[in-house]
Structure 1
Amino acid sequence: MPYRIVIVDDEEDIREGLTDLVDWAGLGYTVVARLEDGRDAISYIESHPVDVILTDIKMTFVSGLELAKYVHDRQLDIKLVLISGYKEFEFAQQALSYQVTHYLLKPTKLQEIHQVFRDVKANLDKEKAEKEQSLGLLSRNEEMLFMLRRQFFAELASGALTGREEIERRLQLISLPADPERSPCCLYAIRIHQDGPLPDPGAADPDANRILRFVRHAYKHEQDHLLHIPLHAEAGVIRMAALGLGSGMPDAASIEEIEEKVALHFDTVKSRLHAVLGTTSELEQVQSYACLLDLARPEARTGAQPEPVATRSGAASSPQDPDASRFDPLVIQKAKSYIQEKYNEDLSLEDVAEHVYLSPVYFSRLFKKQTGRNFTDYVTEIRMLRAMEYLRQPQYKVYEIGSIVGYRSAKYFFKLFKQYAGCTPTEYRNTLP
């Protein structure tokens, strides 16, 4: 995208000449305005985006130096190039104090103008790249912080995090000004009502993830000293946590206020969900705790876990299903979702570990500890289950299915399938009704 330049000169011939004779498009610019005074330029930049101003230093009402001072004092992200027929040193000195990029003297040579604006573009390109890199780093840091906060609550709710000192350390790490013994918290769910059949539990649900992103944005900022943290999206349900921050929440002896605030804040989000996405929703499974340590204690969590989500046929998810666990630490849930999305690709342990911001060794150990199986076995089981789904569809040939679910070698696929199912893929298809 070309940079936007404004040309300001009170002499029409010079103004038009600079516009027409310089190959602005070739230099990477587009002239968005030609103005005759600094006063006009100030009016223009107040309502239009501008990257560069090329201006005469002496004009009738507002000079180029005054225009430069205006840009400098307001810290506008605009490059200034001054052009003048005067050679007095004080002009150049003053221009430098306003961080003017270049100072040209009339009559200017076309070659000199080209060189100056090539330099200006090089600086703009560099600053743009640095800004994009900085924004990208900020975005990644925000995503990492969000993941760490989700992980914190998942470990609290699962009993994996119980010590006061460790909880305090983690709170500092994730920038949450809360006290383990005084800050009330709450686990709850947002039930989303949508038309059509529910996806199978554990299956990828793009709508649920889309709604999770919407809810995350709606609850982005602290409200009434209460921070809401989306934890997990599944078919028709968004799992949430809420934490009282700072000194604005009541003492640990009172938790009614956190429930009132959760309900009040949800009413606003509910209206937004309906207005923007056309969905109806309700608050359910609200479980409040006087403090974080209460959430961490096993006896306080009795009844806090939601019921298993029914499949389309009405049967609850079986614990033997690889996707049935709803309460793994969130980093494992994220890893499972990634595997389910990428299972048919050349997926490695290193790829998944990088996706969840863990080292491969630590991720492998954590995955085994939380799921009871190693990474390779889990990927194999996902692929075998998907292969069985494809075998139910006669349009797919048996020898093609191995490639579809991620195996380059049909022979190796047949071997793994027989180990998993106790029969070959062909035999499995022949037993289907």
Structure 2
Amino acid sequence: MYTLLIVDDEYEIRNGLSNLFPWHETGFQVQAVRENGREALDYIIEHPVDVVLCDIMMPELSGIELARELRDRHPRIKVVFLSGYRDFEYARKALSYGVRNYIVKPTKYSELSHVFHQLREELDEEQSLSGPQGPDKTEAEAPQEGGLQERIIARVRKYIDTNCHDASLEKAADLVRMNPHYLSKLYKQVTGVNFSDHLLGVKMDRAAELLRGINYRTHEISRMLGYSSPKSFSRAFKQYYGMSPREFRNSKPPVE
């Protein structure tokens, strides 16, 4: 069973989630409940958990601030937001801090079940990559076994697809417990493509998909994909596609 910390300033919600949802069916057990981000952070320092399910708007320390602290201090802890707000800015910040999912209240049983089944699969995969020495194992060299290599690269590709906005070789290496230099060599050896080139390709595919829609402006897409400015995003996009984001959008029929 993986461990879960529930954080919500509303008593009925945090206790309802803790006691009424069949967590054991998704492979989780509720280790504790807390009513704000500050209490949650203090708890995690002494009692590490696998996943935090938390509200966004809370006193003392908000869910956004908690996610930022966890990203910096405990990057392996996965965060799921639970909020009554459906807002672009919250969603953008959630992405930038590595939040896994954004569930809007009132919570549907099916959605909660789906999200945590997915999280269990990810945690199972990460645990299998850690090997018998556990999460503190450090691989000094690239593993030799073909099957293990493929699993590591599959995990890294999934990480890039999910976190392209702030993915890096160093974070990917930390995820699979490898030296960044050796992971870079292994990635090129197995896929034939450099890590950085694949990351750029994923970002550009995502940018093209978003530009075909009508929901986001170019500067919003730039932020969603982790670029420091719209200018740097536009430059990268034009180098990749041979046209600016504006030209690309005008050349494609919009998707509702």
CA RMSD of aligned residues (A): 2.4
User: Residue in 2 aligned with 1:396?
Assistant: none
Instruction: Give 3-state SS (helix, strand or coil) of 1:31's partner.
Output: strand
- The reply on whether 1:11 has 2:10 as its aligned counterpart is yes
User: Residue in 1 aligned with 2:58?
Assistant: 59
Deviations 1:156-215 (A, max 9, x none): xxxxxxxxxxxxxxxxxxxxxxxxxxxxxxxxxxxxxxxxxxxxxxxxxxxxxxxxxxxx
Q: 1:139 to 1:102 in 2, by over 3 A?
A: same
Deviations 1:114-159 (A, max 9, x none): 0000011111111111111797895999xxxxxxxxxxxxxxxxxx
Instruction: Give 3-state SS (helix, strand or coil) of 2:5's partner.
Output: strand
Q: 1:9 to 1:131 in 2, by over 3 A?
A: same
Q: 1:140 to 1:92 in 2, by over 3 A?
A: closer
User: Residue in 2 aligned with 1:100?
Assistant: 99
CA distance in 2, matches of 1:90, 1:134: 40
User: Residue in 2 aligned with 1:40?
Assistant: 39
Deviations 1:21-46 (A, max 9, x none): 21111111111101000000000000
Runs of 4 or more above 2 Å deviation? 133-141
Which structure features the higher share of helix residues?
2
Aligned-partner residue type, residue 95 of structure 2: L
- The reply on whether 1:29 has 2:18 as its aligned counterpart is no
Deviations 1:299-332 (A, max 9, x none): xxxxxxxxxxxxxxxxxxxxxxxxxxxxxxxxxx
Aligned-partner residue type, residue 55 of structure 2: D
User: Residue in 1 aligned with 2:120?
Assistant: 121
User: Comparing both chains, which one has the higher relative contact order based on Cα–Cα distances under 8 Å and sequence gaps of 6 or more?
Assistant: 2
CA distance in 2, matches of 1:54, 1:19: 10
Aligned-partner residue type, residue 62 of structure 1: L
Give the drift of 1:88: 1.1
- The reply on whether 1:131 has 2:130 as its aligned counterpart is yes
Instruction: Give 3-state SS (helix, strand or coil) of 1:120's partner.
Output: helix
Q: State the aligned residue count.
A: 141
Give the drift of 1:103: 0.5
Aligned-partner residue type, residue 87 of structure 1: R
Instruction: Give 3-state SS (helix, strand or coil) of 1:46's partner.
Output: helix
Q: 1:32 to 1:133 in 2, by over 3 A?
A: closer
Identity %: 44
Larger radius of gyration: 1
CA distance in 2, matches of 1:140, 1:69: 31
CA distance in 1, matches of 2:139, 2:15: 43
CA distance in 1, matches of 2:39, 2:109: 26
CA distance in 2, matches of 1:105, 1:40: 23
- The reply on whether 1:88 has 2:92 as its aligned counterpart is no
Deviations 1:29-82 (A, max 9, x none): 111101000000000000112100000010011011100000011243200000
- Residues 291-330 of structure 1 correspond to what in structure 2 (within 5 A)? none
- Segments of 5+ residues of structure 2 without an aligned counterpart are 143-256
CA distance in 2, matches of 1:47, 1:137: 23
CA distance in 1, matches of 2:20, 2:53: 14
Deviations 1:204-228 (A, max 9, x none): xxxxxxxxxxxxxxxxxxxxxxxxx
Aligned-partner residue type, residue 91 of structure 2: A
Instruction: Give 3-state SS (helix, strand or coil) of 1:82's partner.
Output: strand
- Segments of 5+ residues of structure 1 without an aligned counterpart are 142-433
User: Residue in 2 aligned with 1:424?
Assistant: none
Deviations 1:325-366 (A, max 9, x none): xxxxxxxxxxxxxxxxxxxxxxxxxxxxxxxxxxxxxxxxxx
CA distance in 2, matches of 1:40, 1:63: 11
